[in-house]
Amino acid sequence: MKLSASKLAQWCVQGDHYSIALEEHHLVFESKHLTETVPFAIWDGQCRLSRGLLWGKLTFIVSPADQPARSISVYGLPWFELSSLVEQLTASYQDWLAKQKNTFMLVEHELVALRDELEGHKGYLRDADLQQWVSKAGIAVAEFGVHPQVASIANPALYQGFFGWLQNGSAMREAKNTQWRETELERWSQWFDGIESSPLNPSQRQAVLMDDNHNLLLAGAGSGKTSVLMARTQYLVASEQTTPERIVMLAFGKKASEEMAQRLASAGLRNVEVSTFHSFATKVIKALTGNAPVLSALATDEEAKLSWMTLWLAEHLTQPAVEKRWLKHLSQWKLPGLNAERKLAEQAHEPRLHKWLWRQVDLLIQQNKSQAAMRSQVNGDARAESEFALVWPLMRSYQTHLSQANEVDFNGLIKEATKLLLRKSATFSAQYDHIMVDEYQDISPSRMEMLEALCGGKRERAPSLFAVGDDWQAIYRFAGSDVSLTTDFLARFPAGVIRYLDVTYRFHSQIGAVANPFIQVNPRQLAKPLNSVKTQKKKAVHLVSSETLEDTLTKLAASKGERDATLMMIGRNHASKPEGFSSWQARWPSLNIVFVTAHASKGLEADFTFLLDVNEGVFPAKGQSEGLEVAMLSVDGEMEHAEERRLFYVALTRARQACWIFCHPEKPSVFVKELWQGDYPVMSKLPKKALEFEQAPPAIEQSAMSE
């Protein structure tokens, strides 16, 4: 049946709809420029009739699944024919609706079961849980031919639940998880009070409950990340969400993994798998191939490395073409340990050259790129291009040696395990529910790929990744770590969750007022509050001349008397260790004086710290502006001294009570100048003229200063 406006009426309504037709389970509307078909499934079944001076108007409400509800009106219809049309439209719709209700009743119980899967879900509802359900529910709706409008009439409660999750799942998931967290915090309140030596603070408790597919916990210096790792592991077992053997805890070093294993064993959790990345990779390879990988002596034995490298250099540097290439390089740039005035092959045993070459080989292997891709990366940097030409043949010979011996090095362990996991992750990873990573800011691209393979794949519920780290303390770029894997966490895992521990128990507010804004000058560092439990008004960071080092030490010792204290002297490198260090240790044993490099200070703390030789060209270290290492490790758009700034932040935050920064009075570091001119709460006994910048110091974000 079709009803249309007359020619005159069509002219009067101009661009509006002037015709309506009833087809099988559809309404068809016509206007001058458009024909629109509306299925009964999105029509509410109502015909809204109104009369004008000459003609009638019909209005319909339609609700497309992916759009807001809207009205469609048909104008200029002959009034005396409208009642008959409305009766036919309504009867046709009711007939269709009755058949749909009968169909719905046959599958209603299955939709109820699907709804109850989510509403009855125990624990945290992960994003992947919801996406799997949405996929399954969408298939069911299409297969059963169920229309939302029919469900809303036949079973309003089911409609609100089932289709609510389909259409507004993210908001409903957040509400459900918020309620779950509140319940868990109340239920486990006393347990959180006693699980560690001190009650967990609110941000630590929230961190323990993180359980999405990809979780990043930003844990600032002294904020108790180890307590959270231990508490979370025990909570997962105590709450019966998993068992100890289904938890993996990964660390970067053997010492760190052993310490975590000991703490867990003390808590009665001996079956938690605590491992380094390399040990875990070895397990993966053995489990999925049936054979344990053979680790090359070149990866573990310094004598073997020395012998192999010496032989390779002696053999290749005697070749005229190779020698010519190396001499050409030496005519423009230096190489550690090599003298162009002597026969190159005679210097094949030089340790400094070996150290540099192994570093470059390791760097190239970590890139995991083709020769063409790496050539492109160094293109335009003449020194980098030349160094690449020297090192590439060495790297290829090294890889050939490993392949022929059927051996791997540490990089090879990670890569081989990743390949196997990509093929068999669903099988291997099914034995785990939770993957935890300590010091995540030190992650390298190859380790990240292994983690993704371990936590990915097609399975009912993949392991949850719980990464704990602090991008402010990412200081191992030279070893292959990539801080962007932390700072760009949500770009890699869009549905991931980031939380932070907002309280530090190490240093008081005056040290925090210097260190926290200083690191956040770099806009690429993730912003977070880090509030000190202890507050004080007296400034605790001192800028002083290196000439006063012993006098400052004498005064500090006198102020402490016979009371025990700890003093950590920190240098950018070992060259900063004072000549009188041993005599000072003997003279003031109650101070427990130690010396460490800035990198080695990570994870340590002391009552007082002396930062030594914070001079121009020393700290921040004077970096090269060209060369293979610069080309391979450079980050587009990163601010100057970004890595050194993080390293300086690490050194600053080792002190519990006070920190002295020593520098040459006429050659202070740019960091010293920034601390003086940048409105930081520091005390200075340096000449003001030496502290002046030739240009304005880096800006401090106001938000960082107010934390």
| Contact indicator for 522, 471 with CB cutoff of 8 Å | no
Bridge partners (DSSP) of residue 545 are: 663
Q: What share of the chain is helix, strand, coil (3-state, %, to 5)?
A: 50, 15, 30
Contact between 59 and 1 under an 8 Å Cβ cutoff? The reply is no
Instruction: Spell 379-397 as b/e; 16+ CB within 10 A means b.
Output: eebebbbbbbbbbbebbee
Q: Are the C-beta atoms of residues 124 and 212 closer than 8 Å to each other? A: yes
Distance separating alpha carbons of residues 651 and 671, to the nearest angstrom: 12
Tokens of 147: 């229309």
Interatomic CA distance for residues 430 and 449, integer angstroms: 18
CB 568 within 8 A of CB 608: yes
Report CA dihedral (180, 186, 188, 193) to the nearest 10 degrees: 140
Identify residue 383 by its one-letter amino acid code. Answer: R
Residue 702: CA count within 13 A, CB half-sphere: 0
Q: Would the annotation count 226 as a binding residue?
A: yes
462 is in an annotated binding site: no
Q: How many whole angstroms separate alpha carbon 117 and alpha carbon 614?
A: 61
**Spatial strand order in the sheet of 214-219:** 273-276, 247-251, 434-437, 464-469, 214-219, 497-501
By the 10 Å C-beta count (0-12 exposed, 13-18 middle, 19+ buried), 181 is classed as middle
Q: Any residues with CB less than 8 A from the CB of 654 and at least 6 apart, and which? A: 568, 570, 601, 604, 605, 606, 609
List the Cα angle 29/34/40 in 5-degree steps.
Answer: 30
User: What residues contact 661, with CB distance under 8 A and at least 6 apart?
Assistant: 541, 542, 543, 544, 611, 614, 672, 675
Q: Confirm or deny that 225 is annotated as ligand binding.
A: yes
Question: What does the DSSP 8-state code read for residue 246?
Answer: G
**231 annotated ligand-binding residue:** no
Bridge partners, 658 (sequence order) = 608
Q: Is 219 annotated as a binding residue?
A: yes
- For the chain, report the end-to-end CA distance as a whole number of angstroms: 71
**Closest among 653, 652, 658 to 672, alpha carbons compared:** 652
**Binding site annotation covers 220?**
yes
515 near 507, Cβ under 8 Å? yes
Question: In 40-89, at which residue ranges do the beta strands (DSSP E only) sit?
Answer: 48-51, 56-62, 70-77
Rounded Cα distance, 224 and 222, in Å = 6
How far from 669 is each of 91, 293, 432, 596, 611, CA to CA, in Å? 86, 48, 49, 20, 12
Helix (H) or strand (E) holding 39: strand 35-39
13, amino acid identity:
V
> 223 labelled as ligand-binding?
yes
Which parts are annotated binding residues?
A: 219-226
Which parts are annotated binding residues for ATP?
A: 219-226
